[in-house]
Amino acid sequence: MTVDQMLRSQVAHLLDAGAVRTHFQPIVDLYDDRVVAYEALSRGPDGPFAAPQPLFAAARAGGLLAEVDDLCRRNAVSAAVEAGMAGPLTLFVNVEPDVVDSERFDDFASLAERVPGRLRLVLEVTERALAARPAELLAAVGELRRKGWRIALDDVGADDLSLAFMPLLRPDVVKLDLRLVQQRPGPAAAHIMTATNAYTEQTGAVLLAEGIETARHLTIARALGARFGQGFLFGRAAPELTRKRRTGSLQLHVAAPPSPPASPFDCIPPEAAMRVSPKSLLVEISKHLEREAAALGPSAIIASTLQEARHFSEITRARYTELADKLGFVALIGEGLGSEPVAGVRGANLDPADPVRQEWDVVVLAPHFAGALLARDLGDTGPDASRRFRFALTYRRDAVVAAMHVLLDRVAPAPS
């Protein structure tokens, strides 16, 4: 028996026994000390799988990740209800990035419509999920919202990508990574603070700080803009709910984003100036936006379209190889390009009937920058560099976010 087979057998036995425990860690209002929510944290049975990390690692190796994740989530909700948790309290539940498009997850999403006691549910996701499976996660989040769930983006600040993907996921709650409150403030903390505060100001989302263990941590969390927090200062994760503190309500006001249009070109805001240009000028504008993205570094993402694979020249290949080394996420979309046009660049093979097939788009998004070239082919048949496009340049953030959303909806999952 191989190691993976042995792990699968052990995990299968755990699943048959339903041997997953749920502990609850309180989330409090940092200004009035009221408990407003709990995060459900799963534990395996006593032994090698007691901690969540080895449990999920074994489940992944044994090919049973979706089953274990589903058991943990269902046990979390049922344990919360059995413990007497009800509105106005909120329950935070985690999800593994690899299972967001599984049938089990689709079925679980409907639970928010059936949970008793007006208990509100928040699903925690990480930027890893969006980077690995953008189309699947964005679709799953949209369905979750329609069924009554709210969304939290976890570990913000642990990776630059979390800041870049934040406006696309549009979380109701932004959870600051514990290192931001526990370590000495530096340039990275200021960068994360300005980005998260800008997002919460624009959307009405709330900041929640993790890892608050001391009075100093609490002071830093408040200074970073967090209204809510969790950590040992307020209580460790335990099988029972906290009964010593008063309870309050976690008010969440983020509006669900509108359904994205059919193509990036349809995202052009009405006030944007429409122009006509030969492709030769669009290429130079594209390169300018690419340089802007490169200067922004790992917290920026770029998604571009170039109609079809024959336009993917060696020069373009070299530029996007360099961008993949500098940016947090790079996507290049066109007919015949495949799922990975070049190492480190995500792709999508457009159907000839896809309206994006007729476009030349370059979309750049970062915490403090948003810009897009959105162009549509006018159908000329002459020399390639002289082909004309109707286009607009926009720096309006909501339009750029919508255009990026449209493109990521088409990106293939990351290669295994």
Query: Is residue 362 a contact partner of residue 392, using CB atoms and an 8 Å limit?
Result: no
Q: 3-class DSSP state for residue 352? A: coil
pLDDT given for residue 360 in this prediction: 97
Q: How far is it, in rounded angstroms, from Cα 197 to Cα 194?
A: 5
Amino acid letter for position 210: E
Q: How far is it, in rounded angstroms, from Cα 121 to Cα 107?
A: 15
pLDDT tens-place string over residues 185-195: 888 889 899 99
pLDDT tens-place string over residues 135-146: 888 888 888 888
pLDDT given for residue 1 in this prediction: 63
Q: How far is it, in rounded angstroms, from Cα 246 to Cα 35?
A: 6
The structural domains of the chain, ordered by start, are 3-229 (3.20.20.450), 264-408 (3.30.870)
Sheet bearing 275-278, strands edge to edge: 275-278, 388-394, 369-377, 359-366, 301-308, 329-335, 346-349
Query: Is residue 176 a contact partner of residue 210, using CB atoms and an 8 Å limit?
Result: yes
188 Cβ neighbours under 8 A, 6+ residues apart: 157
Q: How far is it, in rounded angstroms, from Cα 397 to Cα 14?
A: 47
pLDDT given for residue 382 in this prediction: 86
In sequence order, the β-bridge partners of residue 25 are 39
302 token code pair: 């770029």
When computed from its CA atoms, the radius of gyration of the chain, rounded to whole angstroms, is 23
Amino acid letter for position 225: G
Q: 3-class DSSP state for residue 269? A: coil
Q: 3-class DSSP state for residue 151? A: strand
Other residues' Cβ atoms within 10 Å of the Cβ of residue 223: 12
172 Cβ neighbours under 8 A, 6+ residues apart: 122, 150, 151, 152, 205, 206, 252, 253, 254
pLDDT given for residue 102 in this prediction: 62
17 Cβ neighbours under 8 A, 6+ residues apart: 45
CA 377 remoteness from chain centre:
32
CA-nearest of 180, 247, 257, 244 to 218 is 180
pLDDT given for residue 332 in this prediction: 96
156 Cβ neighbours under 8 A, 6+ residues apart: 127, 162, 163, 166, 174, 175, 176, 177, 192, 196
List per-block mean pLDDT (blocks of 10 residues) for the chain, which spans 416 residues.
76 83 96 96 86 86 86 88 90 81 68 75 83 81 85 87 86 94 89 92 94 97 96 94 88 77 95 96 97 94 94 94 95 92 91 94 94 97 92 96 94 75
Torsion sign (Cα): 113, 156, 201, 302: negative
Q: How far is it, in rounded angstroms, from Cα 241 to Cα 51?
A: 20
Q: How far is it, in rounded angstroms, from Cα 56 to Cα 51?
A: 9
Q: How far is it, in rounded angstroms, from Cα 93 to Cα 27?
A: 13
Q: How far is it, in rounded angstroms, from Cα 47 to Cα 320?
A: 47
Q: How far is it, in rounded angstroms, from Cα 55 to Cα 415?
A: 24
Q: How far is it, in rounded angstroms, from Cα 209 to Cα 221?
A: 6
Q: 3-class DSSP state for residue 182? A: helix
Query: Is residue 15 a contact partner of residue 64, using CB atoms and an 8 Å limit?
Result: yes
Residue 167 preceded by cis peptide, ω within 30: no
Amino acid letter for position 389: F
- Burial of 397 from C-beta contacts in 10 A (0-12 / 13-18 / 19+): middle
Query: Is residue 349 a contact partner of residue 336, using CB atoms and an 8 Å limit?
Result: yes
Q: Which residue has the tokens 């030769």?
A: 280
Query: Is residue 367 a contact partner of residue 156, using CB atoms and an 8 Å limit?
Result: no
pLDDT given for residue 112 in this prediction: 67
Q: How far is it, in rounded angstroms, from Cα 175 to Cα 20?
A: 25
Helix axes 52-61, 65-82, angle to 10 degrees: 140
